[in-house]
Structure 1
Amino acid sequence: MAVVISEISRLTPDDFHQLWLHLQYNLVSFILLSALAVVGCTVFVMTRSRSVYLVDYSCYLPPESLQVPYKKFMDHSKLIEDFNDSSLEFQRKILERSGLGEETYLPEGLHCVPPRTTMVAAREEAEQVMFGCLDKLFQNTKVNPRDISVLVVNCSLFNPTPSLSAMIVNKYKLRGNVKSFNLGGMGCSAGVISIDLAKDMLQVHRKTYAVVVSTENITQNWYFGNKKAMLIPNCLFRVGGTAVLLSNKASDRRRSKYMMVQTVRTHKGANDKAFNCVYQEQDDNGKTGVSLSKDLMAIAGEALKANITTLGPLVLPISEQILFFATLVAKKLFNAKMKPYIPDFKLAFDHFCIHAGGRAVIDELEKNLELSVTHVEASRMTLHRFGNT
């Protein structure tokens, strides 16, 4: 461009006249080339990936009256006749080892004696969490709810009719053409899945906002039985949720907190062990709950390796990629039992946000990724303060 501009600046009026005559004699070629340039530019603009920004987010903070210290948890559990002595002792040990602190929250219905686990109580919990997040989000960002084009809500265990997303549409009077999605039964991975879905929708719809609401509902999903594997969620899951505002508007770039760079999802559901590792079912006495398998951490480790294989080449420096590739080739050719090389992701990332699903989850990822205490401190403190939300 610099050369062309410098040459044009030297042209005389006679040169421009000769150039015009030359274009006249080559009119067909000039029109075809111009049309090709216009089509090429149009295709590039229409098909290029749009930047997605995380403008802001808000978390729900329940009132102090809903806090459940260890003693209160155990005192209420003892008042419930469904639990035998062995189950009570098991819950006490899990609670002490869980990594949860004394200030986590349970829904209002579970503070009642006997617990109030009705549909009305579950809806109240959902409304308090979702609307609490969204009120704060809209207030902080000054975004009009009617400007939202995409709404994604994820809650695994509570899926009423009308849906949770419909409850939000009704509350905030979102516009009639809003693209709303309600994801259920997808466990702790649903938050990432929701963000990925919202990102894909923002690649289709131009200059707009998407809201993602991520939560879990506990009121109707407390386990009142004595199967050990199904008692663990009682000790880990607590009230909480978040609302995230995403945008593909260039004008939001300056005020946004983050820009999305990569998303990687690996689905291990084709594997029977993975499929059954977190399973909602009834025990022998017909009590419904969520059973956590002993294979859970092993399955999570396999999913992590698959994600690392995909993510590594996209973010790691070339030295780590070469080591990873060389180890992979050696494993295939010489020794199938050789441990795969775990790249040093600290060379690619400044911060790690590990899912606060439980102390064992954080410990396992800290060990596998060779992270420091500082790297996992945020996740540990989130678990300590809020539990698995």
Structure 2
Amino acid sequence: MDLFMTMCLLPVFYAFFCICRSVLQWRNQGCYMLAYECYKAPEDRKIDTDSSVRIILRNKNLGLEEYRFLFKTIVSSGLGEETYGPRTVIAGREDCSTLADAQLEMNEIIFDTLDKLFARTGVSPSEIDILVVNVSLFSPIPSLTSCIINRYKMREDIKVFNLSGMGCSASLVAVDLVQHLFKTYKESFAIVVSTESMGPHWYKGKEKSMLLSNCLFRAGGCSMLFTNNRALKHRAILSLKCLVRTHFGSSDEAYECCKQIEDERGFLGFRLTKSLTKAAAQAFTANLRMLVPKVLPVRELLRHFIVALQQAKADSLELDAVGSYLDFKAGVDHFCIHPGGRAVIDGVGKGLRLSEYDLEPARMALHRFGNTSAGGLWYVLGYMEAKKRLKKGDRILMISFGAGFKCNNCVWEVLRDLDGGNVWKDCIDSYPPKALVNPFVEKYSWINDEDLSFVRLELDI
């Protein structure tokens, strides 16, 4: 009888042991953001309408057709008068940028944000266990992670990762890496630095698909501090709930739509093709297939299922239809969209049926700071915080796209009411502006005059 009881109890004890182990593992797999700091360049680095025109006209490879293309692009870009450019471009040295220039550009952004991050949190550089840096276009030797370790004299056993070539979506790739590392390294601190090297990669040729990057990309970046120590949860501002990564690199069309290449004359630049919109839509749809069940409540999924069945023309539950019927606001309170350009923001807004209120943070981040590549998401988050939109318990959906082609999305939960001014504190009261009309429209509309078709511009402004 005792033997029989023992045999019966063994599975019960084993099941209890497995449950306890799972609970303990779950408790140690949290990923909490303690703070973040975005970079704001000095005032002498601003690119307004006139300085932008001066930069464009310095490129003697351009003709009237290219000037008209740039005019239309800048007018419709969504960028304002106060974005920041690389130091070499502002100084007129985009044709002769050096390795030292590239290193200085990175040092300014990285050290400025890290100094503020350490001062704000009280965490010492010697306490950092994991360091991840993502810069797509600049990978020096020693690496940027080594540069940081040398500057702050970090520990010898720190785990470091230097990510390159990941594009505008690299920041969430770095966060995903940290989340996975936290499963192995308990009660740890991790830092993620997301920025981009713009100065040495300013395009000097005349290919239209490569000139786009000069119109949209601007200087910026962000440093973030994370921990999986539950004892510090009360100090955290955000908790990562889920993160889904989708990669369409197997598609030749998607792979080629965002690519760094040399043009016919050997000028290095970043090519953006017309296939970009299609690739983004496909990657976003595939990502949502995995993300939706993790984000939306069961009642909304059931409601959508019933509505979809009632659609006379709906033959399946493809997510192209899901975007039309699912109410993402049933599981998400705020939408943090990568400010890659007006078309990107409009496309996501249309696909998810978002209001102008939902799109405002991304539009304003693009207007004030431009497309800062991987750092862009955090300027959008900063806008929400500065506007005091983020309340305890709110959920934030972050949406990012990057070369490859990939779409990386995640959901954060706000752990306490946030109202910091951060990088927006000096200008938040003036946002949103009454109008987003670009001054190019008034100052340089003459460039579209057909009577000038035979003219090649040689202007000094």
Length-normalised TM-score, structure 1: 0.87
Q: Unaligned regions of 5+ residues in structure 1, if any?
A: 1-22
Q: Report the Cα distance in structure 2 between the residues aligned to 1:187 and 1:382, rounded to whole angstroms.
A: 18
Aligned to 2:41: 62
Deviation per residue, 1:98-155 (Å, 9 max, x gap): 1111111111111123434111101100000111111111110000111111111111
Deviates more, 1:140-149 or 1:333-342: 333-342
Report the 3-state secondary structure (helix = DSSP H, G, I; strand = E; otherwise coil) of the residue aligned with 1:162. coil
Q: Report the Cα distance in structure 2 between the residues aligned to 1:337 and 1:246, rounded to whole angstroms.
A: 36
Q: Is the 8 A contact 1:328 1:340 kept in 2?
A: no
Q: 1:323 to 1:273 in 2, by over 3 A?
A: farther
- Asked if 1:320 corresponds to 2:300, the answer is yes
Q: 1:41 to 1:246 in 2, by over 3 A?
A: same
Q: Report the Cα distance in structure 2 between the residues aligned to 1:37 and 1:312, rounded to whole angstroms.
A: 31
Deviates more, 1:115-124 or 1:228-237: 115-124
Deviates more, 1:351-360 or 1:336-345: 336-345
The Cα of 1:92 is off from its aligned counterpart by: 2.3
Aligned to 1:16: none
| Paired AA for residue 377 in structure 1 | E
| Paired AA for residue 285 in structure 1 | R
- Identical counterparts, % of pairs: 39
Q: Report the Cα distance in structure 1 between the residues aligned to 2:250 and 2:4, rounded to whole angstroms.
A: 61
Q: 1:40 to 1:346 in 2, by over 3 A?
A: closer
Deviates more, 1:36-45 or 1:366-375: 36-45
Q: Report the Cα distance in structure 2 between the residues aligned to 1:113 and 1:33, rounded to whole angstroms.
A: 74
Q: Report the Cα distance in structure 1 between the residues aligned to 2:302 and 2:327, rounded to whole angstroms.
A: 12
Q: 1:351 to 1:28 in 2, by over 3 A?
A: closer
Listed as ranges, the matches of 1:246-265 within 5 Å are: 246-265=226-245
Q: 1:328 to 1:122 in 2, by over 3 A?
A: farther
Deviation per residue, 1:41-69 (Å, 9 max, x gap): 76335543611111110001110011111
Aligned to 2:400: none
Aligned to 1:341: 322
- Asked if 1:383 corresponds to 2:363, the answer is no
Report the 3-state secondary structure (helix = DSSP H, G, I; strand = E; otherwise coil) of the residue aligned with 2:52. helix
Q: RCO greater where, 1 or 2, for CA within 8 Å and sep 6 or more?
A: 2
Deviation per residue, 1:298-326 (Å, 9 max, x gap): 21111111121111111212233124446
The Cα of 1:36 is off from its aligned counterpart by: 4.9
- Asked if 1:199 corresponds to 2:179, the answer is yes
The Cα of 1:91 is off from its aligned counterpart by: 1.8
Report the 3-state secondary structure (helix = DSSP H, G, I; strand = E; otherwise coil) of the residue aligned with 1:152. strand
Report the 3-state secondary structure (helix = DSSP H, G, I; strand = E; otherwise coil) of the residue aligned with 2:241. coil
Deviates more, 1:295-304 or 1:239-248: 295-304
- Asked if 1:43 corresponds to 2:26, the answer is no
Q: Report the Cα distance in structure 2 between the residues aligned to 1:270 and 1:75, rounded to whole angstroms.
A: 41
Q: Is the 8 A contact 1:83 1:224 kept in 2?
A: no
Task: Report the aligned-residue RMSD.
Answer: 2.8
Aligned to 2:258: 278
Match of 1:353 among 320, 336, 353: 336
Q: Is the 8 A contact 1:331 1:338 kept in 2?
A: no
Q: Is the 8 A contact 2:69 2:208 kept in 1?
A: yes
Q: Is the 8 A contact 2:135 2:163 kept in 1?
A: yes
| Paired AA for residue 26 in structure 2 | R
Q: Is the 8 A contact 2:34 2:237 kept in 1?
A: yes
Q: Report the Cα distance in structure 1 between the residues aligned to 2:151 and 2:329, rounded to whole angstroms.
A: 43
Deviation per residue, 1:275-300 (Å, 9 max, x gap): 11101111111111010011111211
Length-normalised TM-score, structure 2: 0.74
- Asked if 1:75 corresponds to 2:54, the answer is yes
Q: Is the 8 A contact 1:328 1:341 kept in 2?
A: no
Aligned to 1:214: 194
Q: Report the Cα distance in structure 1 between the residues aligned to 2:309 and 2:103, rounded to whole angstroms.
A: 50
Q: Looking at CA atoms only, which structure, 1 or 2, has the larger radius of gyration?
A: 1
Q: Report the Cα distance in structure 1 between the residues aligned to 2:114 and 2:320, rounded to whole angstroms.
A: 46
- Asked if 1:369 corresponds to 2:369, the answer is no
Listed as ranges, the matches of 1:1-389 within 5 Å are: 36=14, 40=18, 43-44=21-22, 47-48=25-26, 50-115=29-94, 116-325=96-305, 327=308, 334=315, 339-342=320-323, 343-389=326-372
Q: Report the Cα distance in structure 1 between the residues aligned to 2:201 and 2:131, rounded to whole angstroms.
A: 25
Q: Report the Cα distance in structure 1 between the residues aligned to 2:161 and 2:172, rounded to whole angstroms.
A: 14
| Paired AA for residue 159 in structure 1 | S
| Paired AA for residue 43 in structure 1 | R
Q: Is the 8 A contact 1:55 1:247 kept in 2?
A: yes
Deviation per residue, 1:252-277 (Å, 9 max, x gap): 11111111101011111111111111
Q: 1:45 to 1:346 in 2, by over 3 A?
A: closer
Q: Is the 8 A contact 2:79 2:216 kept in 1?
A: yes
Q: Report the Cα distance in structure 1 between the residues aligned to 2:62 and 2:146, rounded to whole angstroms.
A: 37
Q: 1:328 to 1:308 in 2, by over 3 A?
A: farther
Q: Which structure shows the higher strand fraction? A: 2
Report the 3-state secondary structure (helix = DSSP H, G, I; strand = E; otherwise coil) of the residue aligned with 2:132. strand
Q: Unaligned regions of 5+ residues in structure 2, if any?
A: 373-461
Q: Report the Cα distance in structure 2 between the residues aligned to 1:143 and 1:344, rounded to whole angstroms.
A: 40
Report the 3-state secondary structure (helix = DSSP H, G, I; strand = E; otherwise coil) of the residue aligned with 2:334. coil
